[in-house]
Chains A and B, each alone.
Chain A
Amino acid sequence: MQNPIILQMKGIDMQFPGVHALKEVDFTLRAGEVHTIMGENGAGKSTLIKCLTGVYQKGKGTILLDGKEINPKSTLDAQSLGISTVYQEVNLCPNLTVAENCFIGRQPKKAGFIDWKTMNKRTKELLKRFDIDIDVTKPLSTYTVAIQQMVAIARAIDIQCKVLILDEPTSSLDANEVKQLFKAMRSLKEEGMAIIFISHFLDQVFEISDRFTVLRNGELIGEYLVDEVTQYELVSKMVGHEIDDLSTLKRVQHTEAEMKEFLKAKQIGVAGSVQDIDLTLRKGEIVGFAGLLGSGRTETANMLFGVDPITKGSISINGKKVNLRKPSNAIKHNIAYCPEDRKRDGIIGDLSIRENIILAIQARQGIFKKISKKKAEELAQKYIKTLQIATPDADKKIGELSGGNQQKVILARWLATDPDLLILDEPTRGIDVGAKTEIQKLVLKLCEEGMSIVFISSEIEEVVRCSNRIVVMRDRKKVAELKGDDLEHDTILKTIAGGAKTNE
């Protein structure tokens, strides 16, 4: 049984100077389905979406909405046609109340003035559909990203919306929040809304989608129903060749005695945040941190790097007690940290790749010993080569690179300092499958060379695959440390959920 077609894009062609971004791509969307557009970074997903939302004007081809040809000139134009987009970054105003964010621009009025009461009431009803019962008169910034995202969706669907585009909506949500979002998506689907979904998370894509359209290098590879393909096949189609099956990655297993202890944390904690964490990190070992968002993973990393100085417990490095009051102390002890939010904490978008790479070494040397241009270029070339950063030269601004490549540059920045301990917080978030494998491989290789690595990720499979040992966190406490046979997806999930065994 086929639902009626709502939107049809035929022969969409798009050229940018030097790049043929879309080559005669077709896309068909039916009412009441979740249709995922899949493809690696640069495959043309976002270009296709931007043609639809009026950000770009398509070169050739036609777009039919309900059988009528449309030519959206701007996002506003697209919105008035019934095409709404919710982006990864929540595009709302944090200072306004929840209700206002839902209704601004089309507030209900009474006697010419905004009728706040009706607005609050209608927002409450709107959010009820998503099972969210919150105080809508509080500023949006009071609530978590997940709720903000729902508010964005609520706003989008309340504007006479036929097609809802969700661009990477889940990348900053934890498992439960994703569940909540999917629930909302399903109820919208039942009401006959057509949803275009874009995500890098394969599991999620398979859970929610009815249909996939796969793009590669701007070309349409095909359209598939969810039952027709396996995850593995889908990824192969995206990448275009048989990928290294991630599960074949091999860990080097040293025994604990073989590995030299690098850092030992005893009962560390920060007042009002994470408490009583015991941790031993050895050279040549990858320790994974698993847990829900907000379980204290990032906070623990922050303590190890001196971002949040510990108020309790002690940290010793190579057997000597150290005092990590600020990141520069940690850098002196050869600790490196790739933070979670690379856009906010990591990259400096207007500087070149080379400048971004040498930043950390320069910081360690002090500002008076400038690294020569020659040395910098050498370093940049070395890492562009070893990490396979896709760029014509080291002078390109980092802001112009794709997410995966930006991540590699940040890795390069810290690798250049030749650290003993490398802390990676969500190193593969928001980057495509191919780049993901590369980064994971690299991490394993670094570990083999004797680096001690802390690997934090929301994707449990990824943590399992890479780590020798996994620290499970829940509610800002370390609840278990798993190793050997316990390194299994289910065991970890249970431990996170607080069900099964804990090694306490």
Chain B
Amino acid sequence: MNNVNASPLKKKKGGNLNTNYLVVIIAIVILLIAIIVGSLVFDNFFKLGTFTNLLINNAHIGISAVGMTLVIITGGIDLSVGAVVAIVTMICAYGSADPASTFGGLGLDPVVCMIISLVYGILIGAAMGCLIQFFDFPPFIATLAGMFFSRGSCYILSTQAITVERGNLIDTLGAWRLKFFTPEGGGFSVGTGEVDGKVIGNLSIPVFMFIVVVIIGILISQYTKFGRTVYAIGGNEQSAYLMGLPVKRTKVLVYTLNGLCSALAGIAFTFFMRSGSGLLCVGMEMDVIASVVIGGTLLTGGVGYVFGTVFGVLTLGLIQTFVTYASLNSWYTKIFVGVLLLFFIGLQRIIVNIADSKKVKVAG
């Protein structure tokens, strides 16, 4: 029976590329294709400024998407992010506004306001995590409650849209730019403040926050026990528990971490807008979820990369840029995002099916 012995424990043939990476690679390819198409179709598109603006306009989405990636990898969802961003803009803008101004305001130090914002994010995240873990709330419902709570609380602070005054620290930080410019006489240079030459692109503080959050996100998700437990939970929660992993703690922590990310995104967005309002970022959670999915994270959990999410965010932002360049109504963005999302989810389904069918053939 020697000839039989040869086969069963042999590893599977074909499919050498890890299918988990495949979706991310596709996201990257799509982004590249989009850039190439954009460059060919629109004059004046392929230049540094386009890309730095892309980062500036989407940094807050990106920061939030890093936390959301982890939540989705556990198999959960968080709908509260847009509302948390909104209340953070209010805490920062209203909190730091002069009580004597037309808006009223609390006259707090801007730094204190930012700290309060972060604490709020952590607390609401932890609260939702506890509801989900200990009271068995579906993530959809628990975070929906968090969303309404946060959105409603905005209006308790103030029903007005509050503009951050000039000279306020938030205004200063929001206006700060790292500028890339061509000095007179040609060449390339980097500087801040007033620069001598033609500015060809610039980066804001939120962009740097985004970069830092992404790096931390990658480290956490790939190189810490917590991060790997997040993946294990998404793969099979029961197994994760039986393997002795701290499932409960991790699930609460992942929502807490996302709350923190939302608060950071809120601070970034306050820098970007230099104003606060309860009306801001309605539906932003959907953009965030869309970028995470386009970046290759499966909504069923267990598969995804923070690295991929970056490309999801950029793809989503690029669509917006296209719509602007084509001078279309901005609502077209939503249509394109919808189509793209459909395409990606379809694609993921196909890849998962192919992977499954391969397995059946070998495992019998």
Contacts and interface: CB of A to CB of B under 8 A. Distances in A.
A114 B244 contact: no
A79 B241 CA distance: 13
Given A79-B244, A104-B232, A498-B3, A298 B364 contact: yes
A293 interface: yes
B12 A142 contact: yes
A104 B9 contact: no
B364 A91 contact: no
Interface in A122-173: 132, 134-135, 138-139, 141-147, 155
Contacts of A174: 8, 364
Nearest to A75: B242
Interface string B239-273: 11011110000000000000000000000000000
Interface stretch (B206-214, B332-340, B354-362): B354-362
Nearest to B2: A497
Given A92-B239, A292-B4, A135 B11 contact: yes
B244 A93 contact: no
Interface string B207-236: 000000000000100111100110110111
Nearest to B304: A95
B231 A499 contact: no
Given A104-B245, A139-B20, A294-B362, A134 B11 contact: yes
A95 B1 contact: no
B15 interface: yes
B172 interface: no
A295 interface: yes
Nearest to B361: A273
A70 interface: no
Interface string A284-304: 000000001111001000000
A322 interface: no
Nearest to B3: A498
A457 to B, nearest CB: 13
Contacts of A94: 235-236, 302
B303 interface: yes
Interface string A73-103: 0011001000000000011111110001000
Contact of B225 (A93, A105, A132, A145): A105
Contacts of A498: 3-4
Contact of B9 (A105, A113, A135, A177): A177
A141 B358 CA distance: 11
B302 A143 contact: no
A176 interface: yes
Nearest to A90: B239
A94 B242 CA distance: 14
Nearest to A111: B223
Nearest to A80: B244
Contact of A93 (B4, B15, B20, B232): B232
B303 to A, nearest CB: 6
A471 B6 CA distance: 23
Given A104-B245, A142-B12, A298-B364, A113 B224 contact: yes
Interface string A108-128: 000001100000000000000
Interface of B: 1, 3-5, 7-9, 11-12, 15, 18-20, 219, 222-225, 228-229, 231-232, 234-236, 238-240, 242-245, 302-303, 355, 359, 361-364
Nearest to B235: A93
Nearest to A92: B239
A362 interface: no
A176 B232 contact: no
B9 A176 contact: yes
* Chain A interface extent, by class: 35 or more
B345 to A, nearest CB: 18
Given A138-B18, A298-B364, A95 B8 contact: no
A273 B245 CA distance: 39
Interface of A: 75-76, 79, 90-96, 100, 104-105, 107, 113-114, 132, 134-135, 138-139, 141-147, 155, 174-177, 179-180, 272-273, 292-295, 298, 493, 496-499
21 contacts: A75-B244, A92-B239, A93-B236, A94-B235, A95-B231, A95-B235, A95-B303, A96-B232, A100-B228, A113-B224, A139-B18, A143-B11, A175-B4, A176-B5, A177-B8, A180-B8, A273-B361, A293-B364, A294-B361, A298-B364, A497-B4
Contacts of B219: 113
A496 B223 CA distance: 47
A120 B350 CA distance: 30
B8 A292 contact: yes
Given A105-B225, A114-B222, A91 B9 contact: no
Given A174-B364, A499-B1, A141 B355 contact: yes
B302 A107 contact: no
Contacts of A79: 244
Nearest to B223: A113
Nearest to B301: A95
Contacts of B19: 139
B8 A144 contact: yes
A465 to B, nearest CB: 22
B355 A105 contact: no
Nearest to B356: A141
A93 B3 CA distance: 32
Contacts of B235: 93-96
Given A91-B238, A91-B239, A132 B228 contact: no
Choose among A96, A175, A180, A497 the residue with the greatest number of B CB atoms under 10 Å from its CB.
A96
Contacts of B303: 95
B228 A176 contact: no
Contacts of B4: 175-176, 292, 496-498
Contacts of A104: 225, 228-229, 232, 243, 245
Choose among B3, B231, B235, B240 the residue with the greatest number of A CB atoms under 10 Å from its CB.
B235
A142 B15 contact: yes
Nearest 8 CB-CB pairs, A to B? A294-B364, A93-B235, A95-B302, A113-B223, A95-B235, A293-B364, A497-B1, A91-B239
Contacts of B245: 104-105
A96 B242 CA distance: 15
B9 A147 contact: yes
A144 B240 contact: no
A92 B245 CA distance: 11
A90 to B, nearest CB: 8
Contact of A114 (B228, B236, B355): B228
Contacts of A107: 225, 228
A91 B8 contact: no
A141 B9 contact: no
B300 to A, nearest CB: 10
A206 B239 CA distance: 31
Contacts of A272: 361
Nearest to A295: B364
Contact of B224 (A76, A114, A134): A114
Nearest to A159: B244
Contacts of B302: 93-95
Contacts of B364: 174, 292-295, 298
Contacts of B12: 142-144
A92 B236 contact: yes
Nearest to B357: A272
